[in-house]
Structure 1
Amino acid sequence: MFVLQNGIIEEAGEARLSVFEHGFMYGLGQFETFRVYDGHPFLLDEHMLRLERGLREMNIKWTYDRNGVTSQIEKVLSANNWKNAYIRFNVSAGPAPLGLEQASYDQPEVIIYAKPLERSTGVHLSPKRAQVLQTKRNTPESDVRLKSHHYFNSILGKNEIRGLPDTEGLFLTREGYVAEGVVSNVFWRKGTTLYTPAVQTGILLELQEKLL
């Protein structure tokens, strides 16, 4: 399997990070995951704009260039000979001296991971049973939750349903409000209106917010 690291295709087992990489040391990094259908990245602009906004909040300099990102994704797909894939586009702070940095991170580490997926046939996935978790959805560090490397709350939730492949864990806030699943969003319909929990519950900021 091949990944793309800072624009260069690497065998996954050969790619290396500096021990001073601040995404590794301090969790300063974010990612977006999305599907590629027949070579087309689904909702690419929306994902990348959310990523860019969050990185700006972390003081990591990275600007979304659609042509550049599309070309990078195509390189990963071509190297692996895939047309349909799961993509994780990861940007972290990059190497810096030991200790918390006050200056901007202007040499971020950009890695594109991928794994093959079957082409969608329109067949619905099997339903899962929802289980309310004892672990509460933690409050975000900033005004909204960023899709950051800080993922331990979700790991604790996943551990609660370990060994139950047909079950999805459902997070509540400490106040008892429904927030989101471990790896899913919550929606419900009332009449002709579709609802989802408010961002104040600690869910990820929705893609359709445009993130200006």
Structure 2
Amino acid sequence: MTVCINGQFFSSNEAKISVFDHGLLYGDGVFDTIAAVDGKIWWLDEHLERLFQGCSSILLKHPWSKSELSELTKETFLQTKQRSGRIRITITRGVGDIPSYSIDSCQPNLIIFVTPLDFPEESVYSQGLSLKSVPYSRIFPKVKNLSFLPSVLGYIEAKNTGYDDSVFVNYSEYVTEGTTWNIFLLTNNKLITPGDSLLIGVTRNKVIELAEYLGISVEESFVPLEMLYSAQEVFITGTTKRIIGVTQVDNFVIGNGCVGGLTSKLLKEYCRVFY
């Protein structure tokens, strides 16, 4: 594996970051994950825009321009000599004074690497997922930051109780997002997705555009957990997931317990138009 650190390329055995990096010590940084399929890096500009917005939101100043990051990302992918991959770009605040939180002495670090891109098995798309609701929220949810503990715990809790994954419910008992994905539901023949206290996914936006192209209007709204239970269909979206139907939330069966017709239609169109 080739790893890009601050514009230089290393083998995975040679790649090193200080143990005093604020990304490790405080979860102080941002990242993004991008899909490369059949030699094409999908929506690189949109992912970089979100990455830069995240840096701005947490006051993380760094020396790289979008064009520089774009070229470094492309070069890192090329050096893998693979047709497809899961690209991760991370920017940390870097090494600073210890134990001070002062950022004055920090020098940001950029890390880019590519791992295999493994989409879910076909059976997952055909059978759907079961979700457990958990009372978690990510820290600064609109920023894809390194403080990912709620997602890790949510996934572990789901697996430990026999579910495939977890969906987050905030203190107001509204559904927000999942561990690494956004969520949609069809109710009263309207397609709805949460619009607040969540990370706005690039894939989420593309699915909204795709639905509207097909003549399906999408409403961003507050979603009480009970609305999820009674939905006609539920599905999730994500870079490395595409569109996956949900057939159970907690003890409630969604619809008739099968992946819904609209979900299947959107997935088919997504794969045709995108990847």
Separation of aligned partners in 2, 1:169 and 1:76: 32
- Residue 203 of structure 1 is matched in structure 2 by 198
Cα drift, residue 158 of structure 1 = 0.8
Q: Which residue of structure 1 aligns with residue 151 of structure 2?
A: 154
Provide TM-score, normalisation by structure 2: 0.64
Percent sequence identity is 26
Give the equivalent residue in structure 2 for 1:82: 82
Query: Could you say which structure has the greater relative contact order, defined with CA pairs below 8 angstroms and 6 or more residues apart?
Result: 1
Q: Compare 94-103 and 67-76 and name the one that shifted more.
A: 67-76
> In 2 relative to 1, CA 146–96 (structure 1 residues): closer, same or farther, beyond 3 Å?
same
> CA 1:12/1:127 → structure 2, altered by over 3 Å: closer, same or farther?
farther
Letter matched to residue 142 of structure 2: R
Preserved contact between residue 138 and residue 148 of structure 2 (Cα < 8 Å): no
Structure 1: give runs of 5+ residues left out of the alignment: none
The reply to whether residue 136 of structure 1 matches residue 131 of structure 2 is no
Cα contact 1:61–1:104 (8 A) shared by 2? no
Alignment deviations for residues 118-168 of structure 1 (CA, whole Å, 9 cap, x no partner): 69xx998344322223x3122644xx5311111111111011123689722
- Shift in CA distance, 64/197, structure 1 to aligned 2, threshold 3 Å: farther
Which one has the largest radius of gyration? 2
- CA–CA distance in 2 between the matches of 1:192 and 1:43? 30
Q: Note closer, same or farther for the CA distance 1:184–1:102 as it changes in structure 2 (3 Å cut).
A: closer
| Partner SS state of residue 97, structure 2 | coil
Partner of 1:24: 24
Structure having the higher strand fraction is 2
Asked whether the 8 Å contact 1:128–1:166 carries over to 2, the reply is no
Alignment of 1:27-106 (within 5 A): 27-62=27-62, 65-98=65-98, 99-103=100-104, 105=106
**Aligned twin of 1:109:** 109
Q: Give TM-score scaled by structure 1 length.
A: 0.80
User: Post-superposition shift, 1:89?
Assistant: 0.7
Taking only aligned residues, the RMSD between alpha carbons, in angstroms, comes to 2.9
